[in-house]
Structure 1
Amino acid sequence: MAPTADPSRLEAATRRLSAALSGLETAIARRIENERGQERLQLQAQAAEEDRARLAEELDRSTDRIALLEAANRDVVRRLDQSMDAIRGVLAAYES
């Protein structure tokens, strides 16, 4: 004769199984959300790295442009000094 299952024990086991499945579903949902969060962080990090590279390139171009402008400025100052010396020479000759 086969033993019959006690209904209260069967109900308790069913509740435990249901609670375990619920916990598993919650854990899976949390894991999926964490993975999505990590993917978002990776995308943000990639975007930040691309911005950093772009900004570094712009900084290099700006630095080169500054060097060119400083060289042009020095040349203009030199030419102005020469022009002022020439004007002083002309004025000195005229006043003499």
Structure 2
Amino acid sequence: MSDTQGKDGLAAATGRFDAALARLDQSLVELTNRVQRIKRIEVDTQRLVQERARLATELDKTSARAKRLDDSAHDVSRRLVVAMETVRAVLAKTE
């Protein structure tokens, strides 16, 4: 092997090595970007889970309050019927 061939081979190997390092560096940049996106997605997901839990608790409280109001409205309606019947009975006796 001549000195020129050795230098050409070394230059080619150096070029391949540099290209491999450039690809490795690019892969590292892409991997870092993907990891950062995944971390953001994880943070967003955790935030959504917390928001969902808060909304579920709020919905449960609101549903319980709506049931209490419905029960109260039913009780008031029943009492009004009883009161109207009492008034009718009193009016019927006075006639």
TM-score by length of 1: 0.86
Matched, 1:76 2:76: yes
Deviations 1:11-47 (A, max 9, x none): 1111101100100001100110111011011101101
Alpha-carbon deviation of 1:90?
Answer: 3.1
**1:90 paired to 2:84:** no
Matched residue of 1:79: which SS? helix
- Number of aligned pairs? 93
Poorly superposed stretches of 4+, deviation over 4 Å: none
Equivalent position SS for 2:8: helix
Opposite residue 89 of structure 1, the aligned amino acid is A
RMSD: 1.6
Corresponding residue for 1:47?
A: 47
Which residue identity does 2:48 align to in structure 1?
Answer: A
d(CA) in 1 for partners of 2:33, 2:87: 78
**Structure 1: runs of 5 or more not aligned:** none
- Identical residues among aligned pairs (%): 33
- Distance in 1 of aligned mates of 2:3 and 2:90: 127
Residue 71 of structure 1: how far off its partner (Å)? 1.5
Structure 2 partner of 1:34: 34
Counting helix residues as a fraction of each chain, which structure ranks higher? 2
